[in-house]
Amino acid sequence: THIGFYAGWPKAWAAFNLAKGVWAENSAGEDAKAAFQREMIFPIGEPNTAYAQYFTGESFLNPLTDPTKTVFLANVTFSPACRNNWHIHHAKSGGGQLLLCTDGLGWYQEAGKPAQALHPGDVVTIPAGVKHWHGAKKDSRFSHIAVEIPGEECRSEWCEPVSDEAYSKL
């Protein structure tokens, strides 16, 4: 059927683009960051200095919308092995976060559960109150669109870093 082919097409296309980027990097002498940026849907943005204290490794942030006018969306890019600290999105009602995975390969983990591999085309729904972290795999950059879900009295609580020991086991 055409449905099965169509359903898998976004992931197949993403894998093709990832491989194409690696080939371009090796053949043209282009650095890895530039090759990754060339294949991205959204610009990589600036170094994520405002939240660097909550990340292990280098990340980049590109706000896509103005949170004073609409739902906040931002492209977040993680360098290889970069991840954010454990954190919780709190809200009196509503709230939480969506991750729309767009480029590279990453991880998502909720407290008390095994880590899940993330690929372009994956969507992660994170309810308010769930302790979690997300970031890149050791050997890949990773980008997602972070969508802050509207709610009452929303705030993020940043917790401890993901340990190098726990991360190295993934």
Please indicate whether residue 33 or residue 11 has the higher confidence score (pLDDT): 33
Asked whether the whole model's pTM tops 0.75, one would answer yes
SS3 123: strand
Nearest CA-CA partner of 42 in 1, 77, 75: 75
The pLDDT tens digits of the residues spanning 120-133 come to 999 999 999 999 99
> What pLDDT is stored for residue 30 in this prediction?
63
> What pLDDT is stored for residue 89 in this prediction?
97
CA torsion through residues 13, 108, 106, 157, sign: positive
Distances from the Cα of 125 to the Cαs of 1, 50, 81, 97, in angstroms? 29, 24, 22, 6
Q: Cα-flanking dihedrals φ and ψ of residue 136, to 5°?
A: -85, 155
Confidence check: pLDDT of 3 > 80: no
Confidence check: pLDDT of 33 > 90: no
Whose tokens are 């050791």? That residue is: 138
Q: How confident is the model at residue 41 (pLDDT cuts 50, 70, 90)?
A: confident
Q: Where are the beta strands (DSSP E) in 12-162?
A: 46-47, 55-56, 59-63, 73-78, 83-84, 87-90, 93-94, 97-104, 106-110, 116-118, 123-126, 132-136, 142-148, 151-152, 155-158
> What pLDDT is stored for residue 38 in this prediction?
72
Question: What average pLDDT does the segment 67-73 reach?
Answer: 92
Rounded Cα distance between 97 and 133, Å, is 12
